Chain A
Amino acid sequence: MTATATDTEAFLEQFPAIASGNAPLWLNKARKAARDSFASQGLPTIHDEEWRHTNIAPLLKTSLAPAPISAAAAIQDARLAPLFAPVDGPRMVFINGRYAPRLSKVTALPAGVQVKALSEILLKHPGKLEHSFTDVLCLGHPFAALNAAQFEDGAYIELDAKAVFEQPIQILHYATVGASFPRTVIVAGESARARVIEIFAGEGAYFCNASTEIGADKNASVELSRIQRESETAFHTGLLQTRQARDSRVAVQSLALGGAIARVEFDSRLNGPGAEINLAGLYLGHGKQHLDQHIVVDHAQPRGTSRQFFRGVMDEKSRGVFSGKVIVRPGAQKTDAQQQNNNLLLSDDAVVDTKPQLEIYADDVKCSHGATSGKLDAEALFFLRSRGLSARDARALLTLAFAGEVVGSIKDESLRGYLESLVTNRLKTKN
């Protein structure tokens, strides 16, 4: 099925345009521009090169009218508590894209650290967010344009220069119905250090269209764990944009577990010399899930380092997509970029499409890429069985070992334990 201009129009009509008298003029303008941008880019189809392997046609068959405000009232703390990583630190909860203070806990922040709702920032310090919308046409990212047009609220995290906050800030986006447009902005000042865990979850059939921005100033360090554990009847599209200044470091762990169709895009720009980004991703599909990871790392300045390490485990009739690109701009000498994607297919009906790409316009660089997909090693299975492990346990052990390498190197033990338990529980239910 191909989306036409009529499809795009009908799709967009489900979401009433947002313009508010309280909002700064630039925001209303930006929302309108973003909405127009989405309309002119149109719903992506498999005829668009960047969407060749991901068909979003089923999204058009789902009613996505915005969730009623009242839908949040039924959600209780007890239901959400198990979704968080078991670590101390501030927690923000958004239900259907709207901030839920009664379910959040934001206290005892050290000096120089702000954790607030976007709506509050827009009201009190709108200037802080204007930069977030200067790029609002979001060419190549139609859903990001839609998010900019339609977001209702979001999370704003800012660390002043030299502020260091070791506790991870957890943000939970929980959805129940309709479409929601969570938006998260993370700003780390010079030499600041922040850790964020962003969790996407929910129940039922809905559409979560998320946008996350990380801005890391000179020598700043930001760690983000992005955990997508949506309902398996939900649709998820997410864009993570990172913008890095000189000598800054960004590390992301991305876990894709949920969603009927789920796509996460990484748009990473190393805008200052010596910047470093480390992207580690794991996608675990079963049933008829479709899990797409789409990555562009853009080295604009010299001495940058980037790592992409993505692994997929696809079972039953699931389909995985990895498209990773490294761009090295002219003058970005001494760039060190590595890209690796390995896929494990647990069933004959599972499919994976992998496309690692390098675009290099500088001559003194170190770049490598590689992709594999295959089944569990038959000799390893035989070895484990010949020592007494059941075929099922042997498969589970090898699968877990394959997946575990993505999260195994995380230094924070409690975070690693949390991610490992998500992976283990998921693989246990199927093996």
Chain B
Amino acid sequence: MAAPLLEIKDLHVSVAGTEILHGVNLTVIAGEVHAIMGPNGSGKSTLTKVLAGHEAYTITKGSVKYQGKDLLALEPEIRAREGVFLAFQYPIEIPGVSNTYFLRAALNAARKHRGEKELEADAFLELVKQRAKLVEIDAALLNRPINEGFSGGEKKRNEIFQLTMLEPTLAILDETDSGLDIDALRVIAGGVNAMRSIKRGFIVVTHYQRLLDYIVPDFVHVLFDGRIAKSGKKDLALELEKKGYSWIEEEIARTNPGSIKV
């Protein structure tokens, strides 16, 4: 078996003194797509932010290895240059900073990190054109300040567009499907699927099974109260859709009474 791309062991995370994750274990091999599902407040977004390096979270226990390195010791920008990408649930607007200008700086920072030459303006624009087509994003939007005046759907498209530009090794999608209509969902899933490769791992966080009809996962995990409560193949998502998350809660109560804090 190949060496894991990402190895999360017994991860405990607190924010403002309250523990949110109570010991998460997860292993992702390059080429795999892992879906993480779970009810609101189960810690899904916390997990994604911790992996990207957000300062608000304190790791109290456990470890995260990425390509054999201690991921938690790296600054967010180093993680990004090493190939970790988080598509945000709520992409923010940044007035005055042009999308393409920033993206070129980001791309070249990663290239420099890998010891490659910076991408020339022409080659960069060619890449922009090509990848914009992939997620059907209007090229005119890309010259505007980041997400300024974008609709909710356009912001999500822009996140996946950035993913296709930066070609990460580990892509983490945080509820990319929220707020999207079915057509936009299909386009975005198409962009993600085009990026699937044996060299790349995905963690797809979603509340609903719907997204997984389009981005078909290899594994499905249920995050419940800060722990992975159940793991399975893609059928698990269908079962969750049918039975709801209360089914998981009942199952935990049955097999491990007293473990659920109310």
Contact = CB atoms under 8 A, between A and B. Distances in A.
Interface string B85-123: 110100110111100001101110110010000000000
A394 B109 CA distance: 12
Contact of B81 (A378, A388, A408): A388
A361 interface: no
Nearest to A384: B102
B6 interface: no
Contact of B96 (A383, A386, A394, A408): A408
Interface in A343-384: 377-380, 382-384
A403 to B, nearest CB: 9
Contacts of A385: 53, 75-77, 80
Nearest to A405: B96
B153 to A, nearest CB: 19
Contact of B106 (A378, A379, A388, A408): A388
A387 B75 contact: no
Contacts of B52: 382, 386
Interface string A310-338: 00000000000000000000000000000
Interface string B45-82: 00000001111000000000000000000011101110
A394 B110 CA distance: 14
A250 to B, nearest CB: 26
A404 interface: yes
B164 interface: no
A402 interface: yes
Contacts of A405: 95-96
A87 interface: no
Interface residue tally on A, bucketed by range: 20 to 34
A387 B96 contact: no
A382 to B, nearest CB: 6
A386 B76 contact: yes
A391 interface: yes
- Of the four ranges (under 10, 10 to 19, 20 to 34, 35 or more), the interface on chain B belongs to 20 to 34
B39 interface: no
Contacts of B166: 387-388
Contacts of A377: 92, 94
A394 B92 CA distance: 15
A390 B162 CA distance: 17
Contact of A391 (B75, B85, B88, B105): B75
A83 B106 CA distance: 33
Contacts of B95: 401, 405
B147 to A, nearest CB: 10
A313 to B, nearest CB: 13
A223 interface: no
Given A383-B88, A386-B76, A387-B102, A402 B96 contact: yes
Given A397-B97, A401-B97, A388 B110 contact: yes
Given A388-B166, A389-B77, A391-B77, A398 B102 contact: no
A388 B92 contact: no
A234 B103 CA distance: 41
A393 interface: yes
Nearest to B83: A388
Nearest to B82: A388
B123 to A, nearest CB: 18
Given A386-B52, A389-B109, A390-B109, A380 B77 contact: no
Given A383-B88, A397-B105, A401-B145, A388 B80 contact: yes
Contacts of B88: 383
Contacts of B80: 385-388
A382 B94 contact: no
Interface in A284-314: none
A387 B103 CA distance: 8
B96 A389 contact: no
Given A379-B92, A405-B95, A405-B96, A387 B54 contact: no
Nearest to B97: A401
A238 B107 CA distance: 45
A389 B108 CA distance: 9
Contacts of B55: 378, 382
A394 B53 CA distance: 15
A385 B109 CA distance: 11
B75 A398 contact: no
Nearest to B55: A382
A397 B77 contact: no
A393 B104 CA distance: 13
Contacts of B97: 384, 397-398, 401
A396 to B, nearest CB: 10
Interface string B145-183: 100000000000000001000100000000000000000
A376 to B, nearest CB: 11
Given A386-B86, A390-B109, A401-B97, 17 more contacts: A382-B52, A382-B54, A383-B91, A383-B92, A384-B102, A385-B76, A388-B77, A388-B81, A388-B106, A389-B77, A389-B102, A389-B106, A391-B75, A394-B77, A401-B96, A402-B96, A405-B96
8 contacts: A382-B52, A383-B92, A383-B94, A385-B77, A386-B52, A394-B77, A401-B94, A404-B96
Interface of A: 377-380, 382-391, 393-394, 397-398, 400-402, 404-405, 408
User: What 7 pairs between A and B have smallest CB-CB spacing?
Assistant: A401-B96, A388-B80, A385-B76, A387-B106, A388-B106, A388-B109, A385-B77
